[in-house]
Structures are given as structure tokens and as C-alpha cells.
Structure 1
Amino acid sequence: MADYWSSVIMPMLEGAQMTLLLFFIAIIVSVPIGFLLTLAINSKVKPLSWLATIYVTIMRGTPLLLQLLIICFGLPMIPGIGEYLTIDRFAAACLGFILNYAAYFAEIFRGGLLSIDKGQYEAAKVLGLSKSQTTRKIILPQMFRVALPSVANESITLIKDTALLYAVAVPELLHFAETAVNRDFSIVPYFIAGAIYLIMTIILTVFFKWLERRFQYE
């Protein structure tokens, strides 16, 4: 058992650290970018709104795996400038996840904004609140409350999508599981990997349930 722990489970736990690192980087950066994209889409500056809409459409309409392959392997092949676009695989993967998930979060936040009754803007105006005060104190709290369940679902999807790192040769959880399977000719590492993913998603689910309850009582 000790040998199995050191040769199979420990490397997989190390891979899980890479999985979690990518998750936290992607979620911390893509959420604010997604919110800025929402503001850009709703902007009265039409070129800005169009560009943001086109960006979100492209990123949501093409597979994340394809985007990762382009960033990791495609950009360095561009004649003339390819050598300047070659970056570390993990950094490239982080960039791909951030760009992709920012588009999804943008749509989630946009849906949250659309769910707010227009009458609340008028009521805030009657109360003498400025546009910035209305946005900060009334609109944004409600938007985040409405969007939170969708953000939770997207975050859980993100932690599972980190398995795509395997396709761009970044050593994460699934990589070490596959290595153990090929070495030992056993499917047990797959089940161990599945259990680790399940534990991570359960922890994330519990956290977001707690967050939703906090928002309900505020």
C-alpha cells in the first residue's frame, strides 16, 4: 500500500495542485474581465459594444480545446512573429482558460442585469440617487445575487475542464492518472482521479451554497 501511495496517489495529488492553481488563476482573473465585457456590451459606444459582442460570440462558439491548441501550438507557427508568441505551456493554458471563461461570465452577468426591473432605475432617480450610486448600491448587488447560481455552475465546469491541460502537455491530475494506468495496466488510477475531482467539486458546491445563503440574508 505504501508503494502504491508513493507511486500513484502522491503524483496525482501533486497534479491536483496544478489543477487547483489553474482554477484559481482562471476564476480570479476571468470574473472581473467578464464583468468588464458585460459593461462593454451594454455600452452606448457602438463600436465597443460590437467588438465585445463579437468576442463573446467567438469564444463561446468555438471549443475551449481548440482555443488552447491555437494559443499553445498555433500562435508560435505564425510567420514572422511566431517566435515572440511562444510562452510557457502553463501560462498559455491559463490565458486560454481566462479568455474563454471571461466570455461565459460576461453572458451570465448580462443575464443578471437584464433580470432587474427597469422600474428600480426610476425609483432610484426619484430618491435622488446618482447613476453611480444606483449602480453600486442597487443594481450590482442584485445582479450578483441573480448571477451567483450560474457563476457556481460555471466554476464547477471550470474545475472539470482543467483536465484539458492533458491535451497541451501540462502535467496535471489526469496526466498522472493516465501515466499510472499505462504503467500498471490498471483502471484504478482513473477512479482515484475521479474521486479527487469529485471532492474538489463538492467543496466548491458547498462553498457556493454558503455564499448564496449569505446573499439571501443581506
Structure 2
Amino acid sequence: MELSTMTSMLAEGYVVSMQIFAITLVGSIPLGALVAVGRLSKVRPLSWLTSLYISVMRGTPLMLQMFAVFFVPFYVFGRQTPPSYMFVAVIIAFVINYAAYFAEIFRSGIQSMPRGQYEAAQVLGYTSRQTFFRIVLPQVIKKILPAMGNEVVTLVKDTSLAFSIGLAEMFTTSRALVASQRTMVPFMIAALIYWLTCLLIELLLGRLEKKLDYYHD
């Protein structure tokens, strides 16, 4: 098989990987923020439930969570799922897993803010909403950006776990090509693509951190 053909097949798998990546970010970051709010809530049952959710999601393998989401409809409810559910199961598992990690990052960022910031804003006549969005949130984003960046880069690589339930993303495609063509070239190309993607994300996050430099601790 020609190199161009292998690259084209890997590119198709890469599109699926990036779909998993993008949808997971769009779903898990807002969900993580909501979970963080629940975790910090003074309502004990809500705080306890969100803490339990975070503990379970962080304490069990993402691959196991994917299997659970994928097989629950059949083994629990006796329902057959269409082939398209494979992608849906991956997205659900990734979103609920990464939301737990993002929730803890948000929580640590919010709790790191000095109480004096809120008191000073109150003296200046800011409402609670204005205080949070104009003063607290920009500083929280700056504080949590490195940790968020680590999770985002990890997410790029974790998309390869989708192979475990048979979804044809880039790693699955490269593995099939290695087996059929008896060459390591597909793995080398896939590794290069993963690395370049992570490098691009690191550069973008680095630029964002520089833009937030005017928020001094």
C-alpha cells in the first residue's frame, strides 16, 4: 500500500479523533463548572452527591466507563443499539469523565481567590454578579489555565481509547494498517500527528497565558 493511501486513511481516523476531542471539550467544561458549583454548595446533599460523582469518575478507568455506557442499554434494559451508538457511548463516557477533572480544577481555582477580593468589590459597589464575572472569573481562568491545558493535551491522547469498543478513530486505523501491511510506518505517522496536535494546543494555550499576564496575583 502506498504511503499516500495510508496517510489518507489515517486522516479519516484523525477527523473522528478530533470530533471526540471537540465535543468532549464543549460538553465537559460547562458540566465541570456546574459540578464545581455543586461541590462548593452549602447544601450538604448536593455537595455530597457531586463529591461522590467526582470520586467515582476519577477513581475508575475511562475505558471501563466506556464499556459501561456502551453495554448498559443491552444488559440492563435489554435494548439493541444501532452502530451509531458506538460514537454516542464514547462521547458520553468522555464528557462525564473529563467533567469530573475539570470540576476539581474549577473548584481549586475559585477557592484560591482571597476573600479580600470579594470584600473590596463590595466596598466599591459591585454586585455579586459583577464581582464574579469582572473580577473573580478572569483571575480564576489565569490560575487554572496550566492545569486545564494539561487535561486538554491528555484528552487528545485519550481519544485513542475509543478503539476499545471498536470506534474507528486514528489509533484504531493505524493499528489495523500495521497488522495488514506489516509495517510500523502507520504508527509513526499517527504518533507524529498526535504530537503536532498537542504542540499546537500548547502554543495556543501559551499565547492565551501571555494575554492574561495583566492579572497579577
Q: TM-score range by the shorter chain?
A: over 0.9
Q: Is residue 32 of structure 1 aligned with residue 30 of structure 2?
A: yes
Q: What is the Cα deviation at residue 72 of structure 1?
A: 1.0
Instruction: Name the structure 1 match of 2:137.
Output: 140
Instruction: Name the structure 1 match of 2:79.
Output: 83
Instruction: Name the structure 1 match of 2:62.
Output: 64
- Percent identity, please: 37
Instruction: Name the structure 1 match of 2:3.
Output: 4
Instruction: Name the structure 2 match of 1:96.
Output: 93
Letter of the 1:102 partner, please give it: A
Q: What is the Cα deviation at residue 212 of structure 1?
A: 1.0
Q: Distance in 1 between matches of 2:89 and 2:101?
A: 19
Query: Residues 44-79 of structure 1, C-alpha deviation per residue, up to 9 Å, x if partnerless?
Result: 22111111111111101111011011111244211x
Matches within 5 A, 1:31-180: 31-78=29-76, 81-83=77-79, 88-180=85-177
Q: Distance in 1 between matches of 2:81 and 2:48?
A: 27
Q: Is the 8 A contact 2:73 2:80 kept in 1?
A: no
Change (3 A) 1:213 1:183: same
Letter of the 1:176 partner, please give it: T
Q: Distance in 1 between matches of 2:40 and 2:200?
A: 34
Q: Is the 8 A contact 2:9 2:173 kept in 1?
A: yes
Normalising to structure 1: TM-score of the pair?
Answer: 0.93
Partner of 1:186: helix, strand, or coil? coil
Partner of 2:168: helix, strand, or coil? coil
Normalising to structure 2: TM-score of the pair?
Answer: 0.94
Q: What is the Cα deviation at residue 84 of structure 1?
A: 7.5
Letter of the 1:179 partner, please give it: A
Q: Distance in 1 between matches of 2:86 and 2:27?
A: 18
Partner of 1:216: helix, strand, or coil? coil
Q: Distance in 1 between matches of 2:169 and 2:29?
A: 23
Unaligned runs of 5+ in 1: none
Instruction: Name the structure 2 match of 1:194.
Output: 191
Q: Distance in 2 between matches of 1:75 and 1:173?
A: 27
Instruction: Name the structure 1 match of 2:12.
Output: 14
Query: Residues 169-197 of structure 1, C-alpha deviation per residue, up to 9 Å, x if partnerless?
Result: 00010111111111111112111110010
Q: What is the Cα deviation at residue 95 of structure 1?
A: 0.6
Unaligned runs of 5+ in 2: none
Q: Distance in 2 between matches of 1:42 and 1:142?
A: 18
Change (3 A) 1:82 1:43: farther
Partner of 1:83: helix, strand, or coil? coil
Q: Distance in 1 between matches of 2:15 and 2:204?
A: 19
Q: Distance in 2 between matches of 1:140 and 1:215?
A: 12
Q: Distance in 2 between matches of 1:4 and 1:35?
A: 44
